[in-house]
Chain A
Amino acid sequence: MMKPELIYTTYIRTTPEKLWHAITNPEFTRQYWGGNENVSDWIPGAKWAHISGDEQRAARIIGQVVESVPPKRLVLTWADPADEADISRVTFQIESVDDEVRLDVIHGDFRPGSDMVNKVSGGWPRVLSSLKSFLETGKALKSASCAAKHAATEALV
């Protein structure tokens, strides 16, 4: 394993199943992740895309499902559609800890010279804060989802 560049952890009062659903269901992702939807069959080898929830359905991030073990582990490749060769890898790990669920997001395997790491490092904490709020209170953080939208756009430039 290469040394991962970014690791984020958050503890959420929910169940692993709900958290898995929140990450993989377009209706849910749209509510806390800058209005964008995660779309895929979520089986290894399948394509996945992070697309805008509006009429444009513009792909923000694309990739493939590498591993999918619901509701525990999801590994995806991650690339800007404008530069598909610049692939990195995102791992979601879900684990029950006492009465909470721990989510680890590991973003690594960036290509040498890629500035994707700088593009996403501000965005992940905002997305994960908003996800936590969404699952615990039923509401995404409005400001976070706006900020996350901005971050998702940044990741495209």
Chain B
Amino acid sequence: MVAYNAHMTIDDDKVYKALADSSRRQLLDRLHQQGGLTLSELCEQQDMTRQAVSKHLALLEAANLVATVKRGREKLHYLNAVPINDIYMRWIGKFEQKQVQALFNLKQALKEDHHDET
């Protein structure tokens, strides 16, 4: 049981560390928009060097936030949201879910109103 918990903590730590960087979150945002991108495609529209993007991708892959598939000589990258869902489910239980969603919707609606005014 202890081993199991320790194991989970290591996995979770990787996910949190991977998410704690705005460049890596940008890469995830890009993959959320469009899956199956190569390293070169991911380097477009980024202020980072190819080497930096490659390093960030390796970290995201190690945290299992990015899944990859090989197609010929290319490596395609995809957002893997499963670990994020695991984290979400850890703290947001059955009864809270509706309330949290309602608050999120309210926040979005207020934001949109604000944009309309400005």
- Which residues in A have some Cβ–Cβ distance to B below 8 Å? 1, 3-11, 13, 104, 106, 124-126, 128-130, 132-133, 136, 141-144, 146-147
Contacts and interface: CB of A to CB of B under 8 A. Distances in A.
Nearest first, the 7 closest Cβ-Cβ pairs linking A and B are A125-B85, A143-B94, A125-B81, A7-B78, A7-B67, A129-B85, A9-B67
A3 B71 contact: yes
A98 to B, nearest CB: 10
Question: Is the contact region of chain B dominated by helix, strand, or loop, or is it mixed?
Answer: mixed
A143 B67 CA distance: 25
B82 interface: yes
Given A1-B71, A3-B36, A9 B82 contact: yes
A9 B80 contact: yes
30 contacts: A3-B76, A4-B78, A5-B35, A6-B35, A6-B78, A7-B35, A7-B80, A8-B82, A10-B82, A10-B83, A13-B7, A104-B67, A106-B69, A125-B81, A125-B82, A125-B84, A125-B85, A126-B85, A129-B85, A129-B86, A129-B89, A130-B89, A133-B89, A141-B89, A142-B94, A143-B93, A143-B94, A144-B85, A146-B97, A147-B97
A141 B34 CA distance: 29
Contacts of B68: 7
B62 to A, nearest CB: 12
Contacts of A6: 35, 78
Nearest to A11: B64
Contact of A5 (B36, B71, B84, B93): B36
A126 B7 CA distance: 21
B94 A146 contact: yes
Nearest to A133: B89
A57 B80 CA distance: 31
